[in-house]
Amino acid sequence: MHEDALSFPFLGSQVYAYGLLVMLGVLLAMALALFLTRKNSREQQAAALTALLALPLGLILARLMYVFLDPTFRPLMNIGNILNITTGGFAMFGALMGAALAACIAARLTRVPAARMLDVTVAALLAFLIPARLGEGYTALGVSRPLTTPWLADSFLARQDDYDAYLRTYLLEAMIALILLVILLRFLRRKPRHGRAFALACLLFGITQTLMESLRYDGHMRFSFIGVQQVLAVTLFCLVLIVLAIRLLKANKARLLAVLSLIAVPLSVAGGVGVEFLIDRSEMGKLISYALYLLVLAIPAALGILMLKQEERLGQSTD
């Protein structure tokens, strides 16, 4: 763990505040998954099995992703250091992927539609992210470059040290996770077709996390000005756009929307890379640069939501 991470002794062990909040997130995720499946005993069994499998799979993938993709770990690469998880070093995307894999395995074993379990699991993961992100406030993670905007540097969103002020990116990420959770729960209340909630969550999480990973500047899994998890976030929302567009094209519906969405994928990536260069290497103000970033990301967000609505209408017309 980082030397400045908040910890305290407990029963002969050193307990970290970050770990406690991650544990709280796990408990919240389990509780929400069981609540969402309370009306179907087989789904509830699948949710319980998902929770059981997600713990080891999430831990393993979070650790492996970190040790193989973080440049600072490479000089320390050996079996002993890889297995020594008490020193810290995990990737949030690995943990989320482990939970999604657990949902697919549990769905197969319990004969529940995998798409349904992914809908439930993604909502649970958003609940997990809220305290998990807040826990980063007790570490050196989840902060931005030094702030140059006085009103922002003096706000509650900033963390001060002896030299500069830094944006509490982890706090923004926790707030975004809460907002996305509310959106997803309201969407699930409409009882959409299985898999739609998962697609919506992946789209919105991928887009918002792309921006958050740009704001982060804590050196975690980062090569120059590009973070590994930012690349994964971009890949996530681009895959959603591609899959939705292909579905519409196969159904021979909303072809123009589908084609525009496919065109938007490389353009969004190119636009994002261009803005990252502006942020990292130009004299343009950060507020202007991030306003451009929001405009770039708003396009795939709007197209993805429109395609999901189109799919929903098609589904209703065939029922």
pLDDT at 53: 97
Mean pLDDT across the stretch 18-47? 95
Contact call for residues 147 and 136 (beta carbons, < 8 A): no
What is this structure's pTM? 0.91
Per-residue pLDDT at 183 exceeds 90: yes
Q: Tens of pLDDT along 69-107?
A: 888 888 888 888 888 887 778 899 999 999 999 999 999
Cβ count within 10 A of residue 8: 10
Q: What is the mean pLDDT of the chain?
A: 89
Contact call for residues 204 and 301 (beta carbons, < 8 A): yes
Q: How far is Cα of residue 95 from the mean position of the Cα atoms in its chain?
A: 10
Mean pLDDT across the stretch 18-37? 95
Helix ranges restricted to H, 190-227:
196-215
Q: How many CA atoms lie within 13 A of 269 on its CB side?
A: 15
CA distance 52 to 101: 12
Mean pLDDT across the stretch 204-215? 95
Percent of the chain with pLDDT over 90: 61
Contact call for residues 205 and 197 (beta carbons, < 8 A): no
Listed range (57-66, 77-86, 232-241) with the worst mean pLDDT: 77-86
pLDDT at 1: 45
